[in-house]
Every structure is written in C-alpha cells, then in structure tokens.
Amino acid sequence: MFQNITTLRTLDLTEIKVPRTSIHRRTFFGLHHLKILSLANFGLRDADPDVFHGLQSLRTLNLKNNELRILNASSFPLHFLQNITKLNLANNPFECSCELFWFKNWINENKKKLISYRDNPSLYRCASPPSKYGTRLLDLTLSPDDCISKPLNSYVWVTFGLSSFQLLVTLLISIVYRLRWHLRLWSFHLATWMRSRWHKRPERQENFKFDLFVSHNSCDASWVKNVLLPELEERSQPPFKLCVYSRNWLAGSTISDCIIESLALSRKTLLLVTNAFAKSEWCQFEMTMAQHRLIETDNDNVVLAVMEDIEPMNLNPRLRLMMKRKIYLAWTDDPVGQLFFWESLKQLLRSDGRSLVESTPSADELRSVLG
C-alpha cells in the first residue's frame, strides 16, 4: 500500500476502522524512513512482529485504545524494542497470563518509553483472567516460579511419563514374546480345568484296539519311534496304545487294507504333517480315508500336527482346508512349546472329538474336496 512512499516519516491512521482485526505483514513494507506511526482506535487485536519488521527508523508507535489482549515475546521484533523511544499501549484489554511476564519485565526496565504508564498507570489494566480483572499492570505480580519453572516441570514430567509408558509397553511386549509358550501352556491348563468343571468326561470306549493311529511319512519314522512312542506309551498316565505301520501292520497285507483296518481299530488318527507327508500319495490316501471316516461317524477323531513349515506348492486342497478350519498342533524347538504340544495332544486323546479342535470342516465342505 505504501511501497512507493519511501520517504514517508509520519503516518497517522488513528480511528481508521477496517473490517480486519489484524494488519497484513507487508502493509508498511518499504517505509524505511518512517519514524512515527499511529494506529490508535484501529480495532487491532493481533500484533504480528512481521508488520513492524522493516521499520528500522521507527521511534514512536501509538497503539492505544485497541483490542490487544496478548503480547508475547514475539509480538515485536527485537530491534524494534531496542530502537523505540515512545510506545503507547494504554486502554488495551490485556490478558495477564504468563505470556505477559516478559512485557512486565520490559516495562520495569523501560518505564520512560511507555507513555502514560508512570503518570496514569490505571490506563494499563488486566481484562482477563477473571481473577485478575481490573488489576493494574503496575500492581500485577507474576512469579518466575509460576511462569517458568512449572511449565518446565510439567513438560519434564509429561516427557518422563510418556517415555516410561513407552518403555513399559516395550518391556511387556518383550516379556510376552519370550514367555509366549508359558502363557499358552497356562491358558491351556486353565481351559482344561474349566472344561473339567462344566463337562463330564465321556466314558472311554473299549471297542477300539488302539487309542491312536499315527499317519506319517517314512522320513519321520525315527521321530515317531524315538520321541512320540516313548512320550505317549511310556511317560503318559494312563499310557496310550498307538498303531504305527512299522510295528503293527502284518506282512503280506496290502497297504490300502492295512490303512483301512488301522483307522477302524483306532479311536483317533494323528496326521504328522511335513513336506514329505504332503507330497506322499499314500499319506494323502490315509488323510482322505480319515476324512471319510469323519463324515461317516460324525465324530471329529482326526488330530492334525504340523511338524514344520509347509511349502505352498505342497498344499493340496484337502490339506489346505484342514489347516484352515482345524486348530492344529504345531511342533517347535522351544522346550516350553514342546511341553504345550504334548499336553494338548494328550488332552485331545482323552476327549471324544471336543476340546481344542473346534472349527471342523462341515461334511459338505469335505465332500467338495474329496469328490
């Protein structure tokens, strides 16, 4: 607006009401020689430091009878406060908060610069907060402890609290991860205890010769012989009786007949799923027969144990469906995880198609993949 009047030295805009409550930062741009500026009764509410930034020669500023509430440390440029000789801020509704603390200190050191402050201090009063309404700035007491230490302490405490909370969450996540198998085992025992209180355990059927038929690939025969059999037949009380082809199948019988007979004579069927199992045609046949039996008896007697990560290329539709819909057991190298595996398996063997296996494929779904 005044860019072309670079030699202007005095500018009086008193009582020139404008619809805006602030002045655009480039309004006085280029007035490098301006010494006196009056914005009295201007309706000004905000003191933007950029408005006075280029007024290097300004010595007198009249801002009386405006609506200036907040004067913080950035309201005026530093060079302005150093060069000004007369500043009139009378009759403004000051907000006497901690943001005015710097101005109170500036007044104490520059009383001669602030017009009317010494002669008529009642022209400088607080309008807010309500507890300080009407208080003269001359009588205003703002403690450094209230305005500096407390906000700093609050910031420190908030920072400390957030940091502590973040550390606690990280620590809890770490503990849960390290004790994940302990927590699973604990929840398993809790579920078993609650189930024993609300459900009467069915009587064990005696018309089966075996408790469990173990369907596995020959590559896993060593694990079955040295790990599975001792755990279930020797260390379990009461011991379980298992059917495994290396021990219980009769020489001279066809493989298909042995599979069908083993399924019929066993209460449960354990599928030890490995990549070798998934690729074996005979293992797939055993799984198919076990699923047919599930449909015929309407009893979930198939236990699925995944012994390793199965490659996607080895997942046929039947196996994928079972792993998707059944809560299967998973073997792990973690000692506590292995304890959870054995406890879960034994609990399943003692049940009649209930407990841990809850999401069994429907007969229609099985028929769709069995053909």
* Domain tally, the chain: 2
**Would residue 159 count as lying in a domain?**
no
Same-domain status, 262 and 338 = yes
Same-domain status, 232 and 351 = yes
Do the Cβ atoms of 304 and 329 come closer than 8 Å?
A: yes
**Would residue 179 count as lying in a domain?**
no
Per-residue tokens: 172: 């809890």
Q: Which residues contact 193 (CB under 8 A, 6 or more apart)?
A: none
Q: What is the pLDDT, as a whole number, of residue 203?
A: 45
Residue type, 102: W
Do the Cβ atoms of 356 and 327 come closer than 8 Å?
A: yes
Do the Cβ atoms of 144 and 117 come closer than 8 Å?
A: no
Same-domain status, 222 and 337 = yes
**Would residue 183 count as lying in a domain?**
no
Do the Cβ atoms of 40 and 17 come closer than 8 Å?
A: no
Q: Which domain holds residue 358?
A: 202-370
**Would residue 189 count as lying in a domain?**
no
Euclidean distance between CA atoms 32 and 53, whole angstroms: 10
Which of 33, 147, 167 is closest to 98 using CA atoms?
147
Is omega for the bond preceding 129 within 30 degrees of 0, making it cis? Answer: yes
Domain stop point among 116, 142, 168: 142
Same-domain status, 218 and 102 = no
Which of 75, 76, 25, 30 is closest to 57 using CA atoms?
30
Q: Which residues contact 177 (CB under 8 A, 6 or more apart)?
A: none
**Would residue 155 count as lying in a domain?**
no
Domain stop point among 142, 157, 190: 142
**Would residue 193 count as lying in a domain?**
no
Same-domain status, 225 and 366 = yes
Q: Is the pTM of this model over 0.95?
A: no
The CATH number for 215's domain is 3.40.50.10140
Same-domain status, 289 and 221 = yes
Query: How many Cβ atoms sit within 10 Å of the Cβ of residue 254?
Result: 8
The CATH number for 58's domain is 3.80.10.10
**Would residue 4 count as lying in a domain?**
yes
Same-domain status, 138 and 210 = no
> What 3-state class would DSSP assign to 200?
coil
Residue ranges of the chain whose pLDDT lies below 50: 149-152, 188, 200-205, 353-371
Q: What is the pLDDT, as a whole number, of residue 251?
A: 74
Is omega for the bond preceding 238 within 30 degrees of 0, making it cis? Answer: yes
Same-domain status, 213 and 130 = no
Query: How many Cβ atoms sit within 10 Å of the Cβ of residue 359?
Result: 9
Q: What is the pLDDT, as a whole number, of residue 6?
A: 76
Same-domain status, 8 and 137 = yes
Write out pLDDT tens, residues 325-366.
777 888 888 888 888 888 888 888 887 643 333 334 444 444
Euclidean distance between CA atoms 303 and 284, whole angstroms: 15
Same-domain status, 7 and 119 = yes
**Would residue 318 count as lying in a domain?**
yes
Q: What is the pLDDT, as a whole number, of residue 294?
A: 67
Same-domain status, 111 and 211 = no
Same-domain status, 118 and 237 = no
